[in-house]
Amino acid sequence: MNGEGRRRDFRYNRSSKKHKLIRTAEEELEAKLGFDLFSEGEKRLGWLLTFASSSLEDQETNKVSSCVDLYFVSQDGSCFKSKYKFRPYFYAATKDKMEIDVEAYLRRRYESQIANIEIVEKEDLDLKNHLSGLRKSYLKLSFDTVQQLMSVKSDLLHVVERNQSKSDATEAYELILMGKREQKSQDFLDCIVDLREYDVPYHWYDVSISSNDVMLERRTDLLQRAEVHVCAFDIETTKLPLKFPDAEYDLIMMISYMIDGQGYLIINRECVGDDIEDLEYTPKPEFEGCFTVTNVKNELELLKKWFAHMREEVGFQCDKNQGEYRAKFACHLDCFAWVKRDSYLPQGSHGLKAVTKAKLGYHPLEVNPEDMVRFAMEKPQMMASYSVSDAVATYFLYMTYVHPFIFSLATIIPMSPDEVLRKGSGTLCEMLLMVQAYKANVICPNKHQSDPEKFYNNHLLESETYIGGHVECLESGVFRSDLPTSFKLDPSAYEQLINNLDRDLQYAIRVEGKIDLDSVSNYDEVKNVIFEKLARLRDEPIRVECPLIYHLDVAAMYPNIILTNRLQPPSIVTDEVCTACDFNRPGKTCLRKLEWVWRGEIFMAKKSDYYHLKKQIESEFVDGTDVQLAKSFLDLPKTDQQLRLKDRLKKYCQKAYKRVLDKPVTEVREAGICMRENSFYVDTVRSFRDRRYEYKGLNKVWKGKLSEAKATGNSIKIQEAQDMVVLYDSLQLAHKCILNSFYGYVMRKGARWYSMEMAGVVTYTGAKIIQNARLLVEKIGKPLELDTDGIWCALPGSFPENFTFKTRDMKKKLTISYPCIMLNVDVARNNTNDQYQTLTNPVTKTYTTHSECSIEFEVDGPYKAMILPASKEEGILIKKRYAVFNDDGTLAELKGFEIKRRGELKLIKVFQNKKYRSALKTHQSGSSPVRGGNSGWRVVFVSC
């Protein structure tokens, strides 16, 4: 073993002793807090609460191994901890037929660090002709500890970078020389061409001990979550006027907290004017808050009381990178992280009060921060109620929304609950994909790195992307369902709808309803009603009547475009890939061509200018004037080289061409999508979409049960139904957030599965669907606003709406929305994928072909009103700025207004809230009450 290896081992052994001391202290604390180490005895059943990476030292050999600390909760509420040993690993790819030689060399070189090396065959989706059954051989390097893995990996990464930078010509020349001389160690390193790596999932387990090792057995029959202890707290402190609290001199006035539904309040009488008795704060019957109050004389006694209940050591430590307190064995689930990512609330409504109103359905107590210290002395009872109200809101927000969602998601994503909550939706998508790739024996690609030297038409690219979804505002004004609107309809469009009536209704029955047409008993009756309405609209195209305000949107548009067209990053193929494939035959149907729009920004300088500047800067020295102290440009890191070169190029362009960049270039391109590629990505999206649809369906079922329970007045059933409605609504919203991220993930910086072409195809296809819908809607009504995935429109009040088909046996009914049906038939005609192929026999590589189209419009509405503000400039409309109201006057949708944004003046928010609600009041004109209510505000704005 060389000297460098010995030094590495010495450092590792020295640090392992330090880790041993820390680990012992951690175990003592965890045992004190209920997580005893389960190392012997009978099998135990536990629900996995969380996990953390750790290490384990063999007492006999002093050998340190990596392990995962698993923290379980038993059915009786007790807790225990187990250490599960694992060997971290990564994969190394070599040149063809060099695996055995490289394996032998690596075993010799890293004898004390690598635990095992085995040759495994993986499906590499980057390998040409892999659909024929070709597998790529990889060396799986396993280690006892993560430190050993990182050490070897850092060595080999430099080797791989050097090998990948070699040109094909250099490689061919070296190959000739290699055959004429004896191979050296360096030759084997030159054969390592790539490294790959990844992780694993978790659930309920039976835990048993066998020969000093932990064995895990997943219990798929147990679905109910364990009952864990939950603590939510709120701390009120003193503060100076117009200042934030400062720990140096401000005091804690009171601490309110709830543990498993029981409330506690500790009062510091130094700051509070009177003793507080036990109190109850129950804003709604289902959110009961009974608080036991303790009055203490000063802050020291308050903290002692708090520590006595919480224990002096709770195992949480501050994560300096994130500024958050974390523990290995307990979950610190910040409700605010859930609000920001998964609540679908606007940025201006992320505070506890706004979230409580929106999600829990009640108005919490509010006190101006500048009045809190004074109220604590003058109105102590009020401040006590205010303090406990925050604890109640936090506790029930967590129990109602955050808890069920995070632990449901943690069963399918191989991350701890803390990580599931805090990581971005793109990261969660990637972890799901890695799990599915692992199951499918697919090797995961490395993180994407963009090419810094990409050219377009002999010019260096500054940036490139794709054209996203189409958004457009088409009207402005106040549109109300009770105020007549003038319509100028196109008779030919209505004639076309009449001619297509049979086609549209039969599509609804057979395709959407999956009902045999012969079993429908009232087909002619429904058809005749729709026909009469359409005929009247055709015959009287110029009319004034109250509108029907609808939002026609495509359900889960981007995920369904992905599923319909079998879109996934590995499926984007070139002619070169197809040429090497065994299935590339005349008349092939496995390649589907779809368009997308590329957009690029290019430098003014030409390619020759760029290379001249590059040659010039490569001969220079940087970071100093003295040649001996200066560093060659080529010795700088690659990122620094690129930054300096780009900076030089910008200065040159500015001097030579008077501007840096040329006008942006757009270009319609065609992407080839392979219909036979391994479908693990598409299958992941489909399973997530189907799960969300399942939750939406259950939410609808429980809403029906809630209505029935309210009709009967059964309070127990009402409460149960309300809880289930909230649960399933939360789960479907959270799944919506991650489901929509599968599209955005493919363009994320550093994504493992990266594809600009796929993202472009998805958005371009979606834009065409909405624009085609607009062409029809503007002939039969008024399109108001185009969203990315839908169209807001006003249809004549006499336009056909909802109808119900009945079957002859009366067992099934099908309710249809005619505005949706007329659009869905066109969507199916233009977007059905008739080339969708599924692998039916992996041995003979047999595929079956079928038609696929899951892209469908759904209808929301009709609504009471839609308000679209006008622009200050003539002829210009403001997109993404509107307010929509339900029939009961509640706000259904709000976009673009200051009231929704974070950080805007509260004065503006109050003004907008008053103004757009006043537009619903009179029957003569929507604008008169808005104008009439401005006089009082004019005085306010002038005085400001």
Q: What gap in Å lies between CA 580 and CA 586, rounded to an integer?
A: 14
Please count the residues of the chain: 944
Query: Would you state the CATH architecture of domain 426-452+569-575+675-754?
Result: Up-down Bundle (1.20)
pLDDT at 200: 36
Token pair recorded at residue 825: 């038939």
- Per DSSP, 398 falls in state I
pLDDT one-digit tens code per residue, 305-336:
998 888 755 666 676 666 677 778 888 888 99
Poorest-confidence range of 206-210, 689-693, 873-877?
Answer: 206-210
Highest mean pLDDT: which range of 22-26, 133-137, 200-204: 133-137
pLDDT one-digit tens code per residue, 466-495:
998 888 999 998 999 999 999 999 999 999
> What are the residue ranges of helices labelled H in 344-424?
352-355, 372-378, 380-397, 403-409, 417-422
Q: What ranges do the domains of the chain cover?
A: 3-87+201-218, 91-196, 231-310+323-423, 426-452+569-575+675-754, 472-563+763-904, 591-671, 905-944
The string of DSSP letters for 627-639 reads TTT-EEGGGS-HH
Between residues 491 and 873, the one the model is more confident about: 491
Reported confidence tier of residue 13, pLDDT bands at 50, 70, 90 = very low
What fold, for 472-563+763-904?
A: Palm domain of DNA polymerase (3.90.1600)
Token pair recorded at residue 407: 């632990």
Q: What gap in Å lies between CA 543 and CA 538, rounded to an integer?
A: 11
756 phi and psi angles, rounded to 5 deg: -65, -35
What number is the average pLDDT over the span 772-788?
Answer: 94
Given a contact cutoff of 8 angstroms between Cβ atoms, the answer to whether 99 and 119 are in contact is yes
pLDDT one-digit tens code per residue, 205-220:
455 555 456 777 777 6
In sequence order, what are the residues at sequence separation of 6 or more whose Cβ sits closer than 8 angstroms to the Cβ of residue 344? 733, 736, 737
Token pair recorded at residue 243: 């200042």
Average pLDDT score, the chain: 85
pLDDT of residue 551 exceeding 80: yes
3-state secondary structure 802-830: EEEEEECCCCCEEEEEHHHHHHHHHHHHH
Strand locations in 410-476 (E): 455-456, 459-466, 472-473
What number is the average pLDDT over the span 33-61?
Answer: 84
Strand locations in 219-327 (E): 231-237, 252-259, 262-268, 279-280, 290-296, 317-319, 324-326
pLDDT at 818: 95
3-state secondary structure 841-870: ECCCCEEEEEEECCCCEEEEEEECEEEECE
pLDDT at 12: 38
Q: What gap in Å lies between CA 590 and CA 449, rounded to an integer?
A: 29
Nearest to 394 by CA among 345, 441, 335, 350: 335
Q: What is the layout of strands, in order, in the sheet containing 472-473?
A: 472-473, 782-786, 790-796, 547-554, 857-863
pLDDT of residue 540 exceeding 70: yes
pLDDT at 660: 93
Helix (H) or strand (E) holding 723: helix 715-745
| 3-state DSSP helix/strand/coil % of the chain, to nearest 5 | 40, 25, 30
Taking CA atoms, 360 is separated from 233, 356, 401, 879, in Å, by 18, 5, 10, 31
Instruction: Please tell me whether residue 60 adopts helix, strand or coil conformation.
Output: coil
The crossing angle, in degrees rounded to 10, of helices 557-564 and 756-780 is: 110
> What are the residue ranges of helices labelled H in 756-817?
756-780
Given a contact cutoff of 8 angstroms between Cβ atoms, the answer to whether 496 and 814 are in contact is no
Token pair recorded at residue 641: 């080289």
Reported confidence tier of residue 97, pLDDT bands at 50, 70, 90 = confident
pLDDT one-digit tens code per residue, 801-839:
999 999 888 778 899 999 999 999 999 999 999 999 999
Right CATH for 231-310+323-423 from 1.10.10.10, 1.10.20.140, 3.30.420.10, 3.60.21.10: 3.30.420.10
